[in-house]
Amino acid sequence: MIRGNILVVDDERSQREILRAILREEGYEVAAASGGAEALRMAEEAAFDLVLTDLKMPDLDGLGLLTRLQAAHPTLRVIIMTAHGTIDSAVEAMRRGAFHYLTKPLERDALVLLVERAFEQIRLVRENLLLQEELQERFRIENLVGRHKSMQEVFRMIRMVAPTASTVLIRGESGTGKELVARAIHYNSPRKDKPFRAINCAAIPETLLESELFGYEKGAFTGATTRGIGLFEAAHGGTLFLDEIGDMALPLQSKILRVLQEMEIRRIGGKADIPVDVRILAASNKDLEEEMRQGRFRKDLYYRLNVISFALPPLRERASDIPELAAHFVEKHAQAVGKPIKSISPEALR
């Protein structure tokens, strides 16, 4: 089985042949180019995973080739080969995005090990891209099920708010799909390639919830043997979904308010303020206006969260969606367990 496709670029024919022989023995498909310009042409005509290129070449050197390849093929990895006297240039190539460099004369073991490491990174990058594509497909608005007019209004709101940076408050009873909607907002937003983090504020004790959100420094409390990164830092550049925020204790509400105002956090036991760039989406199954009247929810936090708000209807108010939902879940789970179920009988549907 072919382990991957490699392009070797070197103006010395003997060097190209040696590399080709070594890498083919290791199970790779290997092509060769005598210079940077030829390598660019070959990269346009065939798909390569990795390029090993000499640094010094007469037509287009390794740095120039690296820059051109990165612009045209962002997932391609490049290893620079250089003589001892030009290591500074190889380090500069790494600053520009090269995977690594090898010094000549090449050692077979070092070459094979570095190529294997490059392909491991290529695999991880591709898996991550595939996961992102799957997540974006899964949480496309079109994949949320519901033809009832109340759900169509929800879809309209998602399309409207997703491109913005606004804080969104999602209301609805337990089980109405608040987190699913939050994910749809994130994956249809400019932040879709950044992290999405979610936490259920009702499911975690107050002291633990604070450390989960803000993180902590080593020694901040008993058991804190290392530094811990909280969800605000983990979601930097992306979105943090605070589910059931109506169950959050008042002292912690004030800290959330400060984050919304200042866009910075402080770890438990820490002394430094840490800037964060996080879009907040919040949800609650409680009547937050009543919670404010009872003194259980801060008014200032409510108005910070309630920039854009919409409610998700319970299923009993959109019973006409039940056949479509049933068909959706039958199809999903039939595929998962390998059962050839194509439809639901009228009796079962009733």
| Distance between CA atoms of residues 195 and 66, nearest Å | 29
Instruction: Tell me the pLDDT tens digit for each residue of 169-180.
Output: 999 999 899 999
Instruction: Tell me the pLDDT tens digit for each residue of 91-102.
Output: 777 888 888 888
Higher pLDDT, residue 235 or 127: 235
Percent of the chain whose predicted confidence (pLDDT) is above 90: 55
| Distance between CA atoms of residues 7 and 16, nearest Å | 10
Residue 216 carries which DSSP code? Answer: B
User: Residue 133 — very low, low, confident or very high, per pLDDT cuts 50/70/90?
Assistant: low
pLDDT at 331: 83
Instruction: Tell me the pLDDT tens digit for each residue of 52-108.
Output: 999 888 888 888 899 889 888 888 899 999 876 566 776 777 888 888 888 888 889
| Distance between CA atoms of residues 268 and 263, nearest Å | 17
User: Residue 19 — very low, low, confident or very high, per pLDDT cuts 50/70/90?
Assistant: very high
User: Residue 135 — very low, low, confident or very high, per pLDDT cuts 50/70/90?
Assistant: low
User: Residue 197 — very low, low, confident or very high, per pLDDT cuts 50/70/90?
Assistant: very high
The amino acid sitting at 165 is A
User: Residue 327 — very low, low, confident or very high, per pLDDT cuts 50/70/90?
Assistant: confident
The answer for residues whose C-beta is within 8 angstroms of residue 197's C-beta and 6 or more apart is: 231, 234, 235, 238, 239, 240, 241
Question: Can you say whether the dihedral through the CA atoms of 88, 93, 95, 98 is positive or negative?
Answer: negative
Mean pLDDT, the chain, integer? 89
User: Residue 263 — very low, low, confident or very high, per pLDDT cuts 50/70/90?
Assistant: very high
H or E element at residue 241:
strand 239-243
Q: Is residue 303 over pLDDT 90? A: yes
Q: Is residue 288 over pLDDT 80? A: yes
Q: Is residue 132 over pLDDT 80? A: no
Q: Is residue 289 over pLDDT 70? A: yes
pLDDT at 137: 55
pLDDT, average across residues 151-178: 93
pLDDT at 85: 58
Exposure of 29 in the CB half-sphere (CA atoms within 13 A): 9
- By CB atoms closer than 10 A (0-12, 13-18, 19+), residue 163 is exposed
Q: Is residue 201 over pLDDT 90? A: yes
Residue with tokens 């660019």: 40
Task: Give this prediction's pTM.
Answer: 0.62
Instruction: Tell me the pLDDT tens digit for each residue of 205-255.
Output: 888 999 999 999 988 888 888 888 899 999 999 999 999 999 999 999 999
pLDDT at 111: 92
pLDDT at 247: 96
